[in-house]
Structure 1
Amino acid sequence: MTSPLLADIDHELGCLAPRGYMFGLHIRFSRPVRRVCTYPSRWIQTYTRRNLGIGDPMMIWCMLNEGAIRWSDLTRTACDPLDVMGQARQFGLTFGVAVAHGPVESRSYIGAAHDSREFTDGEIARMVDLLRAGHDHLDRTTALRPILVEALEAISCGMTYDQACEALGISRTALRYRLQTARAALGTEDNAQAIRKAIDLGLMNSNTIAGISKGFPTGPEG
């Protein structure tokens, strides 16, 4: 369920960007924890089918910078070998702005489009405020302390409880407490659900199944 704050941000962005917007929060392991896109469906289909994301100058700018830039300025300074911006204009995304906020390992962004005019300085400043609010809000609601993530990582790679305790240097009681706390924070009933949700939220890397890359031993769950 979308929180009231995020729902309000979605609504205001919809009012600010009449040709649609893309709103991504906390890019972790190459994908945002939350993403909303209201661009025209035909443009979304074209963008997806042609894999334009790999060369989108707006997304590249957002990953390399914080702040805001109008698309008109971006097209004068950035390379666009796939002509993403040119193709977007064919679908009515004529004017726009890119906004980015947060550390590079958990960057959030907004791309907003207008079909008839440039966004004003005031509108852009408001989008910056909305992005910061969404970034901070979701960070609080999805964050897990590192020790809780480590406990989930240990279980995710097939360690027994005894192996996990030895690898983490904690008692069995402490491990159970950390796993219980992680499950409660994620709103899940068992470890498997907690691990899957942590991966979905970008808190753990599904490519390595987290702790395997750290050299944890594996074995049946105890």
Structure 2
Amino acid sequence: MSSRAEINAVLARLRKVAPMGYYVALHIRYAAPIMQFQAYPVAWTERYAENGYALRDPTIAWGFSASGAIRWSALPIPDPFGIMKEAANHGLNYGVIVACGLLKSRTIAGCAHDTREFTNDEIEVISTMVRRLHDMTEPPESLTKAQQEALRCIAEGDRHAAAAAKLGITESAFKARLISARERLMAKTTAEALQRAKDYRLL
């Protein structure tokens, strides 16, 4: 099973445990996650984004200050903007936040329930899945020289045939290098692979 398929399989299991959805921000670096997935209600995510709640969200603040898991109801961090109350107004009445990884590459995930608190067993299952997602999406420390060269050609606007000629290889060999780079960076497209390579400081 490919990494992408594995990620989707874990997310599908996570969705079954969290009736009101989830948000997973993987490997937050330079203030932005390298991957993020969310299944909260659309009305809530739009409201959250419009008001820039991420900068004031007590669950996010906790995620950067502690590791492990905690129910939203037990958060020790103030919520002066009433974000948690507003979340409840959108059906996210109960929840849990999970944080893991080094501060320089932090993963923070939230799961929500509409009718009750998550049980200790459910929190353990959620925590295990989040840590699994974190480990599965660990960014590579480096790319091979061939992968870097291929991505640089694309970054410079070369078409496949021109890039292959520039590198002195066949077009099929060039395409194979791009496929290899996409797989290493867990990217669906070459454009996504190129952006990730830049984000990871690998180019």
TM bracket (short chain)? 0.7 to 0.9
Show CA shifts across 1:28-52 (max 9, x none): 1111111111111111111011111
Larger C-alpha radius of gyration, 1 or 2? 1
Give the TM-score normalised by structure 1. Answer: 0.68
- Residue 187 of structure 1: CA displacement? 3.0
**For residues 195 and 9 of structure 1, do their structure 2 counterparts lie closer, same or farther at Cα, with a shift above 3 Å needed?**
closer
- Residue 183 of structure 1: CA displacement? 6.2
| Alignment partners' CA distance in 2, 1:47 and 1:117 | 22
Partner of residue 203, structure 1: 200
2:3·2:136 contact (CA, 8 Å) conserved in 1? no
Partner of residue 157, structure 2: none
1:43·1:88 contact (CA, 8 Å) conserved in 2? yes
**For residues 114 and 136 of structure 1, do their structure 2 counterparts lie closer, same or farther at Cα, with a shift above 3 Å needed?**
same
- The answer to whether the aligner puts 1:113 opposite 2:112 as a matched pair is yes
| Alignment partners' CA distance in 2, 1:103 and 1:7 | 24
- Residue 195 of structure 1: CA displacement? 4.9
| Alignment partners' CA distance in 1, 2:70 and 2:27 | 19
Partner of residue 16, structure 2: 15
- Paired residues for 1:1-222 under 5 Å: 3-74=4-75, 77-139=76-138, 142-145=139-142, 186-187=181-182, 195-199=194-198, 202-204=199-201
Aligned to 1:118, what secondary structure does the other structure show? coil
Show CA shifts across 1:90-113 (max 9, x none): 101000000011001111121000
Unaligned ranges ≥5, structure 1: 156-181, 205-209, 212-222
| Alignment partners' CA distance in 2, 1:147 and 1:82 | 47
1:186·1:197 contact (CA, 8 Å) conserved in 2? no
Show CA shifts across 1:58-101 (max 9, x none): 01111111100000001xx2111221111101101000000011
Q: Structure 1: which amino acid aligns with 2:84? A: M
| Alignment partners' CA distance in 2, 1:88 and 1:5 | 30
Q: Structure 2: which amino acid aligns with 1:72? A: S
| Alignment partners' CA distance in 2, 1:85 and 1:12 | 25
Aligned to 1:187, what secondary structure does the other structure show? helix
Equivalenced residues, count: 171
| Alignment partners' CA distance in 1, 2:125 and 2:69 | 11
Show CA shifts across 1:172-191 (max 9, x none): xxxxxxxxxx9675339xxx
Aligned to 1:24, what secondary structure does the other structure show? strand
Give the TM-score normalised by structure 2. Answer: 0.74
Q: Structure 1 vs Structure 2: percent identity of aligned residues?
A: 31
